Structure 1
Amino acid sequence: MRTPLPLSIIKNETGKIYIPANFELKTTIKTVCFGTSSIECEAVQIDKQEIKVSEDIFDSLHIPYVSKTQLFVHEDTLFVGPLVGIFTAGFSESTIRPIGERTLFFAKLLAAEKAVGAYVFVFGAKHIDWEKGTINGLFHHVNGWETIEVPFPNVIYDRLPNRKTERHKALQRVKHRLHNEYLIPWFNYGFFNKWEVHQQLEGDHRVSSYLPETHKNPSFTLIEQMLTKYQHVYLKPANGSLGLGIYQVLYDREKEDYFCRYRDENNQNRLQRFPSVEALINTHFRKRRLEDYIVQQGIHLIRVDHKTVDFRVHTNKDENGKWQVSVLAGKISGRGSVTTHLNNGGVVRTLDEIFPDTDEHNKITSSLESVALLLSEVIDSRQKGHIGEIGFDIGIDKHGKVWLFEANSKPGRSIFSHPKLRKFDKLSSQLPLQYAIYLTEATIKAPEEIFK
């Protein structure tokens, strides 16, 4: 990992920047940049591992405050930063909770900036001043939130909260303009479509064996055929998330009854019996369209205390642009729940708690990590744009076979509520910023690779 350098201001000089002597300069430095702003300068090399800038440069570049930061050199230009913008929506007028219920999440994310050496802020469409080329970004410090005017960033991390917001035309125009007119790279550009991801993975022999049988826009006949084959299936929204709108359909061969397990509008787990698939569908899909759903093979998962278990694996790209596993945890289903999601009554457990036997623990961990990293690489190679993180829901059946249920480009963070997983919360906050540093340097030195 790169070591951040402390940046300070010089009061009695103008037009100068002092940088460490170990930075190899192939030509005379003429310009220094911060985000998309730049100014002419004279660079002086010193023996100390620090950056000093004259006050006029500091002010002209709109550097928000002195901090630890990175320094990049390319040809006759120095780049201080990076300046990382986190794009989202759902802002409030509160100065204490400016991003509503997600304020704490963003505060934790911004708290990682000094450890990695970056300036990080949160912004939305309303914070952009297109005429001045600046953003009134939200920064977080010990004393709380502060709005500071900064230039457009080097990199943008997309944290729009949901698919409905993402489809908003005004936000799409902002994203298109910043990416295409200002050539600012984005990562985690959009939510995954379950069916598209399934098709992409199905076409790759390295990972196709991890996929349950899945079909889009299922007919009554297809659902019946799959129930005969697997005894239970899942109906999932192709563009769903957080376990919402999922139905588990079970078939009792002896009584020839069909059962539907789901979560109702009052967040209660329900189980209903039906004489036929048609009756089930007609009851639950009067307001939903079956063509917006996928049907997926049910898997007989391993159990703990008679409850099913699956696993959440988060992968992130690091400062070298390489995938790594940032957290791995088990999720035990709640009583009568259709999924293991916490909002459906699920419980998070560490793998140590689920598998006290060391050999079994190590075997399961190694298997889950290797599969998640391979899936990350394949999805990354087949999706458009830059992906910096993925959350996987993975299962293991009673025979030890690994199955992929879902891949999420904006994974939830509920598993970090477990006391033993909180240290990984910090790591998974740092890694997106480390990847932003990688993207910044790659854009500076080889933009044709980033925007190809």
Structure 2
Amino acid sequence: MNTILSLKKEKNSTGTFYVPPSRFKSWVDQVSFPNQLCFGSRRSFCTVSPHPENKEEYLLSEDLWKVLGIPEECPIHLFEKGNSLHIGPLIGVFTAGFTKDSMRPIGERSMYFAKLLSAATKCGAVGFVFGAHQINWEAGTIKGLMYNKRGWYRATVPIPDVVYDRLPNRSSEAIEQVSNTMQKLQSQYFTPWFNPGFFDKWTMFEKLRVDHAVKQYLPETVLNAKSSVLSRMLKDYEQVYIKPANGSLGLGIQQILKPANEKYYYCRFRSEKENRLRRYTSLSRLLKTQYPNGLKGLIVQEGIDLHRINQRPMDYRVHTNKNKEGKWEVSAIAAKIAGAGSLTTHMASDGTVKTIGELASEFGIHKQIEADLMEASLQLSRAIDAKVKGFIGEIGFDLGVTKEGKIYLFEANSKPGRGIFSHARLKSEEARTRSLPMDYAIFLAKSAIEKQLVTTV
């Protein structure tokens, strides 16, 4: 029984949890009644009773409401384990970059987090946003940020049932207090924590290239390449991309081109918000100017002859998420067309976004590409999931497709950017990429509760 019902406050009783008559009858039939109620890390003894008005909702007496630290009336799930009932679940969204602005407490990302918490409510969970500095370890509580129709407010809640990691960047992840928080919640409270960390491009490539199911999607990729290797790759492919192994958002990417019928080498890159193109008479001169410190920490990747729209290369962003059953599904697909003279399709470099439907109607691209991209993304999601430690709930893929329809993986992101969702026709996909992580969080919380040892009182 896993129905979402409203939880309301009851002021005329003490120590009592009222449930719909059908739920109460199941305990009568078993001649066994739960006597503990849990919310996050908090638990309290309680008496269970049938709803006084036979309604399909939960009522909780005010004293238990305070003891358990429930912030407000809301729709919830009810999970049963032994003699304990678990309400919620309580989902903590972990991030950094808080401000003192009560209207925008997480800066520019406040609207995204507000929508995420609203999605949690719709999914039948209690969501809040918190940072490492807001935890009171002695009391086992967190002063979290909550959101409802009236706006943002702070509430003190217990340690959550599950944590969704939405740290904004690698530098915030490297802070000692942040890593200590993650370790402590998992070791002391056994809190499932999903989407930890950022993927390292090279480590990910190494993991995937030994997987027979997905290695077909990988372009040739070399870490710390010598100039002789770079020269050979340019002969083979006429173009390569050089990028930081742990970069993101397309920052630091350069494209080197050596057309077979030309003697010059070209370097395309972005500097001070402008697309630049330089010509060199030799590879050694190019490397000396563009990479004075060498290629250490950089990966060189085979350049793919991408399908083009109006002479501009195009790739695809595909979002995959785990759902309420813990299974992978595709939540969004969009094409990204490079801006004039740009080496990437990122919107910050004047790229434009098109839906698959628009590609078909405006440019005659066959819709079969959608099915092919979905299949590739789900194969890659399952492969990454099997090879990376911890719980992963979402991945953003940047995939390229050649004129012949062959698919290549450029990058997999554990915390995908949301730039494509500025497109008006991707509103429903944007909503799905918010609700699915909440569904998966509920799945993880339920799984963790079911694994708990039964408490006998």
Residue 229 of structure 2 is aligned with which of 218, 222, 234? 222
Does the CA-based 8 Å contact 1:85-1:153 persist in structure 2?
Answer: yes
Residue 355 of structure 2 is aligned with which of 324, 339, 350? 350
**Number of equivalences:** 446
Q: Secondary structure at the match of 2:316?
A: strand
**Shift, 1:245, TM fit:** 0.4
Residue 290 of structure 1 is aligned with which of 283, 295, 302? 295
> Deviations along 1:144-203, whole A, 9 cap, x unmatched?
210100001000000110011111122111111111121111000010011111111111
Residue 330 of structure 2 is aligned with which of 300, 325, 332? 325
Which residue in 2 is equivalent to 1:12?
A: 12
Which residue in 1 is equivalent to 2:372?
A: 367
Does the CA-based 8 Å contact 1:7-1:69 persist in structure 2?
Answer: yes
**Whole-angstrom CA distance in 1 between matches of 2:439 and 2:403:** 38
Residue 120 of structure 1 is aligned with which of 118, 127, 141? 127
**Residue 263 of structure 2 corresponds to residue 256 of structure 1:** yes
**Residue 47 of structure 2 corresponds to residue 42 of structure 1:** yes
Q: Secondary structure at the match of 1:310?
A: strand
Amino acid at match of 2:267: C
Does the CA-based 8 Å contact 2:3-2:78 persist in structure 1?
Answer: no
> Identity over the aligned pairs, expressed in percent?
45
Which residue in 2 is equivalent to 1:309?
A: 314
**Whole-angstrom CA distance in 2 between matches of 1:430 and 1:361:** 30
**Residue 139 of structure 2 corresponds to residue 132 of structure 1:** yes
**Residue 344 of structure 2 corresponds to residue 339 of structure 1:** yes
Amino acid at match of 2:432: L
In structure 1, runs of 5+ residues without a counterpart are none
**Whole-angstrom CA distance in 2 between matches of 1:395 and 1:207:** 14
**Shift, 1:360, TM fit:** 5.3
Q: Secondary structure at the match of 1:183?
A: coil
Which residue in 1 is equivalent to 2:62?
A: 55
Residue 381 of structure 2 is aligned with which of 369, 376, 380? 376
**Shift, 1:69, TM fit:** 0.9
Which residue in 2 is equivalent to 1:416?
A: 421
Which residue in 1 is equivalent to 2:400?
A: 395
**Whole-angstrom CA distance in 1 between matches of 2:317 and 2:92:** 27
**Shift, 1:132, TM fit:** 0.8
**Shift, 1:359, TM fit:** 9.5
**Whole-angstrom CA distance in 1 between matches of 2:10 and 2:126:** 20
Q: 123-132 vs 276-285, which deviates more?
A: 276-285
Amino acid at match of 1:241: S
**Residue 239 of structure 2 corresponds to residue 232 of structure 1:** yes
Q: Secondary structure at the match of 2:278?
A: strand
Q: In structure 2, do the counterparts of structure 1 residues 413 and 2 end up closer, same or farther at CA, with 3 Å as the change threshold?
A: farther
**Whole-angstrom CA distance in 1 between matches of 2:282 and 2:226:** 13
**Whole-angstrom CA distance in 1 between matches of 2:149 and 2:226:** 56
Residue 275 of structure 2 is aligned with which of 253, 269, 274? 269
**Whole-angstrom CA distance in 2 between matches of 1:343 and 1:361:** 28
Superposed CA RMSD in Å reads 1.7
> Deviations along 1:348-383, whole A, 9 cap, x unmatched?
000111122999543111111111111111100110
Which residue in 1 is equivalent to 2:183?
A: 176
**Whole-angstrom CA distance in 2 between matches of 1:238 and 1:289:** 14
> Deviations along 1:223-279, whole A, 9 cap, x unmatched?
110000000000011101100000111003333211111111x11111111122222
Q: In structure 2, do the counterparts of structure 1 residues 110 and 361 end up closer, same or farther at CA, with 3 Å as the change threshold?
A: farther
Residue 434 of structure 2 is aligned with which of 422, 429, 433? 429
**Whole-angstrom CA distance in 2 between matches of 1:255 and 1:302:** 23
Amino acid at match of 1:276: S
Q: Secondary structure at the match of 1:437?
A: helix
Amino acid at match of 1:272: R
Q: 171-180 vs 59-68, which deviates more?
A: 171-180
**Shift, 1:447, TM fit:** 5.4
Does the CA-based 8 Å contact 1:247-1:261 persist in structure 2?
Answer: yes
Which residue in 2 is equivalent to 1:109?
A: 116
**Whole-angstrom CA distance in 1 between matches of 2:362 and 2:371:** 14
TM-score normalised per structure 1: 0.96
Does the CA-based 8 Å contact 1:352-1:361 persist in structure 2?
Answer: no
**Shift, 1:50, TM fit:** 1.2
